[in-house]
C-alpha cells in the first residue's frame, strides 16, 4: 500500500493520478475534506480507502494501520502563505510531520519510503540563494509562518539524521489541473484565465525596483505533471535521500506567463499594471529560481515542459473543458 496524505489536494491528487496510470490502486488517501470542493479531485481516481487526517493520526499513534506499506507521500499541510495562526501551523505542518516521519522509521524496520513536501517558501527573499544543499539550510530566513513551519521540519529532519533516509521536496510555483479549490492560493495561470474570461485583460503588479520593469518580476513556474514526475522519481529510486528543489530551473516573468495564457486562449495580450498593496511591498519576491543541479546529478534526466507548452495544455485540455486529472 502507498499512503498519500493531502491526497485530495492539488499535488496529492496529481500523485494519485500518476500512480493510477502505473496501474497502482492500493492507495490510502488521507486528507481533511472540510467544506470546500477538493473532494472533486478524487472522483476520477482509483484508491483502496479514504481516511480523515485526525482519524489517520490516531491510527498512526496506536499503530493500527494494517498490511505492508511501501511508501508514504506526506503532502498534507496548511499551504496558505497568508495564514497567521502560528500555533496551528506548528501543529499541522511541523508536529504532525515529525510524528508521521518517526512512525515510518519504526514501522517495518524503517523500510517505508518517506517522501514529504517542503517548500521554496523556506528560501525567503532569496538573498541566501536557492540551493538545496541541506548543510546550508540554517541560513535561510522564511518571510512567512508557512515557510518557517516547513523550515523547522527540514532542520529537524537533518538534526535527527532522518534526511539521510527520507526525501524532502522543495516545491516552487506549481500550477496545473486540480488546483481549482485553492481559492486565493490558486496559481496565477488560473487567475489570469478567469480575468481574461471576465474582462479580456489581466492585472499585474507594478515593479518598485528600477532593475525590474513592470511585470518583469520573475518566478520559477513548474507544471504539476513535471512536479509529480519528479516526486515519483524518488519512489523509483529508494536509495536517494535528502532535500531536492522541485522546479523548472528557469526563471520566467509574469509577463511571459500572462502572454502564454492569452496565446492559449487565442487572444491578444492586454495587461494592466496596478499598484502593489503597501502591506506586501517589503516582502515581495522579485526573483525565484530553483537550482536543480542536485536533482539532475541524482539521475533525473527528463526534459521539463516549457512554460508555454504547459500553459497551453492546462488551458486547452483542462480549464476550457472544466476537466480534472484522471488516472483511469
Active site residues: 146, 182
Contact at 8 Å (CB) between 310 and 169?
no
Amino acid at each position: 500500500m502507498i499512503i498519500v496524505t493531502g491526497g485530495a489536494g492539488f499535488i496529492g491528487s496529481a500523485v494519485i493520478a500518476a500512480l493510477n496510470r502505473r496501474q497502482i490502486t492500493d492507495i490510502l488517501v488521507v486528507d481533511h475534506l472540510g467544506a470546500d470542493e477538493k473532494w472533486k479531485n478524487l472522483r476520477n481516481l482509483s484508491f483502496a480507502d479514504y481516511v480523515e487526517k485526525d482519524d489517520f493520526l490516531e491510527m498512526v499513534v496506536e499503530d493500527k494501520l494494517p498490511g505492508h506499506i511501501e511508501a508514504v507521500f506526506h503532502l498534507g499541510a496548511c499551504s496558505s502563505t497568508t495564514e497567521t495562526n502560528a500555533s496551528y501551523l506548528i501543529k499541522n505542518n511541523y508536529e504532525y510531520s515529525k510524528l508521521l516521519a518517526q512512525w515510518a522509521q519504526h514501522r517495518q524496520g524503517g523500510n517505508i519510503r518517506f517522501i514529504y513536501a517542503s517548500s521554496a517558501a523556506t528560501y525567503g527573499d532569496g538573498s541566501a540563494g536557492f540551493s538545496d544543499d541541506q548543510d546550508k539550510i540554517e541560513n535561510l530566513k522564511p518571510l512567512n509562518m508557512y515557510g518557517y513551519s516547513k523550515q523547522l521540519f527540514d532542520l529537524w529532519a537533518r538534526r535527527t539524521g532522518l534526511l539521510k533516509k527520507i526525501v524532502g521536496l522543495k516545491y516552487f510555483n506549481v500550477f496545473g489541473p486540480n488546483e481549482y479549490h485553492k481559492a486565493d492560493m490558486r496559481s496565477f495561470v488560473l487567475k489570469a484565465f478567469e480575468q481574461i474570461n471576465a474582462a479580456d485583460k489581466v492585472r499585474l503588479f507594478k515593479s518598485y525596483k528600477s532593475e525590474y520593469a513592470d511585470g518583469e518580476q520573475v518566478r520559477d513556474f513548474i507544471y504539476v505533471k513535471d512536479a509529480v514526475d519528479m516526486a515519483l522519481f524518488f519512489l523509483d529510486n529508494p536509495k536517494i535521500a535528502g532535500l531536492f528543489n522541485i522546479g523548472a530551473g528557469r526563471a520566467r516573468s509574469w509577463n511571459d506567463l500572462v502572454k502564454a495564457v492569452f496565446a492559449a486562449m487565442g487572444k491578444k495580450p492586454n495587461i494592466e499594471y496596478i499598484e502593489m498593496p503597501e502591506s506586501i511591498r517589503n516582502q515581495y519576491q522579485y526573483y525565484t529560481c530553483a537550482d536543480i543541479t542536485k536533482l539532475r546529478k541524482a539521475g533525473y534526466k527528463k526534459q521539463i515542459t516549457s512554460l508555454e507548452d504547459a500553459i497551453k495544455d492546462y488551458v486547452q485540455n483542462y480549464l476550457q473543458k472544466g476537466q480534472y486529472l484522471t488516472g483511469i
